[in-house]
Each structure stands twice: as structure tokens, then as C-alpha cells.
Amino acid sequence: MKNPGRRRAALRASLLASLAALGASAFVAVPARAQGRRGAASGRPLPRSADERRILAVIENVYRNHRYLSVPEEDGRLLRLLAESIGAKHVVELGTSTGYSGLWLLLALARTGGRLTTFEVDRGRHQMARKNFERAGVLNLAAPVLGDAHAEITRLKEPIDLLFIDADKEGYLDYLLKLGPLVRAGGLIVAHNMASPAPDPRYVEAVTTDPALETVFLNMDEAGVGVTLKKR
């Protein structure tokens, strides 16, 4: 299947079929595409301070570079809105890459007084992310960890307000099982690539059949994002 549009449609159909087979009540939102990869027609983020202007400038620089860009801009903006709206104090990210998604999260955490713990297995990307955090003036809010997240996350003990999973796709269920108990009631689990590449059906089943969780799927015309609420 060489046509990208047909491939995305097939992936969406596959996910919907999986959800239907599970009897899940998840809502899948498919927004209209606007302005290509940059997506949203809502305008550019407006900085409220010189500090935010600095962070946004680095975000824009990383975006323009397009090297190892981990998420589309609209997904980064979604992460920022989710983290800030719940007043997140501790965010855990699995899959730092070069820090693009982390910068969006740190934009929120600079307002909430929170901090980011982020894991990356590739040394080059880890070092690049540290430099980007430093350039943005938010390295003091971040704890970038180099290593295999499957092993490293077992050291985490503190409650998590928002867990963002964007690492090895076959490992999503393991991450959920290990860190889900640390996510506070009312906290969020956000999983990237729920449409492309195809998600692990075991993870989809876990977040759509557990009565303690409520999951919606967003931006399914792109990579796809699963947002899961851990009910109070």
C-alpha cells in the first residue's frame, strides 16, 4: 500500500475494528487537516513572558531543524495544554529524542512549578536534548536520564501527574504496567503513535477495557494520540 493517505485510513480502520471487537467506548476524533504538518489553524502560541518567548524560540528552532522531530507541532501543543490544565507537578516522558516534546511539556511546567523526568536510550539524542533544554533555560526543571527506560523507570517512586509514552512501540504495555500505579488519580497517560506506526493491540486493550481508565484517541489523521484519564 504505497499511498500514504490509504495507509493512514487502513490503520485507522484497523484500530477502530480492534476497539469495536473489544467493546470499547473510546471516542476517536479525526480533525480536519489544516496547513500541513504544522496543523492547527489557531495561530502561533503567544508568549506571556520573556522566559516563555525563549522556550518558544528554541521549540521553533528544533522544529525547523526537523532532525529526530519526535511529534508534530499540534501534538506538542496538546501536551502543553494537558500538562498545564491539570497543574502537573511531575511529568514522566519515555522517549526524549532531541527534546522537542519535552520542551512543550517544560513550557507548561515552567508555569505550574513542576518538573520533567525524561528517558532516552540514544546517547546522541540525549545530549542534544540536554543542550536544547539548556538553551531554553529550563534544564533546571528537567532530569534527562540516559539508559533503557524499561530498567531505569523501576527506580521511580514519586507520584506522576502526566505520563507521556513515545518510545519503543512494543514496550508500551510494559511501561503502562510499571508506571500506571504511580499515576495519581485524576492524572493522565498520553501515548503517541496510536495510528502510525500501528499501535500494540495489547496496550489498546489495556487502556480501553479497564473500568478505572477512560481513553480517547485524537489526531488520528496523523500519528495519533491516546489520552487516558486515571479515574478518581
Distance CA 4, CA 15 (A): 17
Q: Taking all residues of the chain, what is their mean pLDDT, rounded to a whole number?
A: 87
Straight-line distance from the first to the last Cα atom of the chain, in angstroms, rounded to the nearest whole number: 43
Predicted confidence band of residue 220 (pLDDT cuts 50, 70, 90) = confident
Cell output for 211: 473500568
The confidence score (pLDDT) of residue 10 equals: 55
Is residue 218 within 8 A of residue 210, CB to CB? The reply is no
Q: Write down the residue that cell numbers 504544522 correspond to.
A: 38
The confidence score (pLDDT) of residue 222 equals: 81
On the question of pLDDT at 109 being above 90, the answer is: yes
Q: What is the DSSP code (8-state) at residue 203? A: H
Distance CA 189, CA 136 (A): 25
Predicted confidence band of residue 26 (pLDDT cuts 50, 70, 90) = very low
Mean pLDDT computed over 56-65 = 93
Lowest mean pLDDT among 111-120, 137-146, 189-198: 189-198
Q: Write down the residue that cell numbers 515552567 correspond to.
A: 110
The confidence score (pLDDT) of residue 35 equals: 35
Mean pLDDT computed over 139-168 = 98
Say what the pTM is. Answer: 0.84
Mean pLDDT computed over 134-145 = 99
Predicted confidence band of residue 6 (pLDDT cuts 50, 70, 90) = low
Q: In order of start, what are the domains of the chain with their CATH numbers? A: 4-230 (3.40.50.150)
